[in-house]
Amino acid sequence: MTKLVVMGVAGCGKSSLGQALAAARARPYIEGDAHHSAASIAKMRGGTALTDADRSGWLARLGQMLAAQADGTVLACSALKKAYRDQLRQANAGLGFVFLDISRDLSLERVAARGDAHLFPVSLVDSQFAALESPVGEAGVLRVDAGLPPEQQLSLVLAWLQAQEGAQQ
């Protein structure tokens, strides 16, 4: 798998793991949150959850960005619903997903610790859990406990990717 999405609800560590994976695999990194429309950013900062319609254009942009990276990339993107993941898969055959699975309490704690430095407020955490359709059981998905130390998360994903690539040969 040369193209990988690190996914999950707010506070799970998508950006941190995504950046570490991109560095470890010498691949470009795409921060999904950096590509939201100005209107979507304003909605989130104002405490309003995004709708499927809000996310549609964003997911299309991210799918195009992934497709443009012929040699692979790592994307950090919530990809909460199966339809969102399928939209990304349609633009990128063989796309893999790392699902950072986190408890509501730990998510709330981490998002609160970020304060105003991030566009996503604590008040929206529950909406993320409400929207989440677990990808466990979907092809090309690895579930990783978001409570594990970052080094252990990275090791698990790298071992999984190596096994996936070995199986394709």
Residue 10 has pLDDT above 80, yes or no: yes
pLDDT value of residue 98: 98
pLDDT value of residue 16: 95
Tens of pLDDT, residues 132-151: 999 999 999 999 999 999 99
Pick 58 or 133 by higher pLDDT.
Answer: 133
Output the pTM of the full model. Answer: 0.89
Distance CA(61)–CA(37), nearest Å, equals: 10
32-54 mean pLDDT: 77
pLDDT value of residue 55: 82
Report the percentage of the chain scoring pLDDT > 90.
Answer: 59
pLDDT band at 33 (very low <50, low <70, confident <90, very high): confident
Distance CA(109)–CA(107), nearest Å, equals: 5
- Output the CATH code of domain 3-168: 3.40.50.300
* The three-state (H, E, C) secondary structure of 53-77, written as one string: HHHHHHHHHHHHHHHCCCCCEEEEC
Tens of pLDDT, residues 69-85: 888 899 999 999 999 99
| Residue from 5, 21, 7 nearest 134 by CA | 7
pLDDT band at 119 (very low <50, low <70, confident <90, very high): low
pLDDT value of residue 138: 95
81 burial (CB, 10 Å; 0-12 / 13-18 / 19+) is: middle
116-126 mean pLDDT: 75
